[in-house]
Amino acid sequence: MKQETWTTDEFGPSHTGSVGVLLRDGTVPEPAYLMMTEHGSGLTTSQWTVYDGRSGLAPQAHTLRAVCSCGWSGPEHPLDWERIGEQPLGEAAMEPADACEQEWDEHTVEVEKSAVAVPEDVMEQLRRLGDAVERLTKDSPLAALRAARLLEVTAERTAYWAARDARCEVSLAEAAAGLGLNEDGARHLLARFGRWSPYSWPLDY
């Protein structure tokens, strides 16, 4: 069972969200092992729905909360096991799980606000271009694909010197904060646009 996660188009794996589990003692449980065959083979997962304490291999969740790969976590949502009873946890606790996703959405909004501001006129032009390509898709998918490819070419061309100037002017930590990414994400983004190895920056200052 794969763990359900959430990401945004802009921030990707730098802010991967999910429903996290806390046990009664406040600790985060280890991934649960699920046997798939009578011979004992199986898989491990951290999907919140398996922590029902019934299988003997997964402890019982006490609290759900939203978590993000950046280290952020949301408010705790205690589970009422008297109410849950024998219901499947994935059905009985959908309300707090949905609240976790909403809280993570709010977290990504705050990340977006904390990133370096893009002028509104530029944002409006980007929105208009995106809408235009989507409209073009209805009339000519190939033309829309070519337009999208030209957007890629423009991005690669215009971001080249921006990436190289940023490399000289800011630290990796500053670049990550300004872009709303973790340091690994910022390193790879600047390296892709600046056309250098992601493992050479900032080591070759």
The model's pLDDT over 68-89, given as tens digits with 9 standing for 90+, comes to: 999 999 999 999 999 999 999 9
pLDDT of residue 40: 57
User: Burial of 23 by CB count in 10 Å (0-12 exposed, 13-18 middle, 19+ buried)?
Assistant: middle
pLDDT for res 202: 65
Determine phi and psi for 92, rounding to 5 degrees.
-75, -25
pLDDT for 99: 98
Residue-averaged pLDDT of the chain: 93
Mean pLDDT, rounded, for 164-173: 94
Instruction: Give residue 154's pLDDT.
Output: 96
Q: Which residue has the higher pLDDT, 35 or 4?
A: 4
> Which pLDDT belongs to residue 38?
60
Going from N- to C-terminal start, the domains of the chain cover: 12-114, 120-194
What was the pLDDT predicted at 205? Answer: 41
Cα distance between residue 171 and residue 117, in whole Å: 18
Of residues 154 and 36, more confidently modeled: 154
Q: What is the pLDDT of residues 110-157, one digit of tens each?
A: 999 999 999 999 999 999 999 999 999 999 999 999 999 999 999 999
- Placement of tokens 């794996």 in the chain: 13
* pTM value > 0.95: no
Q: What local confidence, expressed as pLDDT, does residue 41 receive?
A: 66
Distance (Å, rounded) from C-alpha 32 to C-alpha 50? 7
Q: In angstroms, rounded to a whole number, what is the distance separating the alpha carbons of residues 134 and 138?
A: 7
pLDDT at residue 60 above 50? Answer: yes
> Residue 36: pLDDT band by 50, 70, 90 thresholds?
low
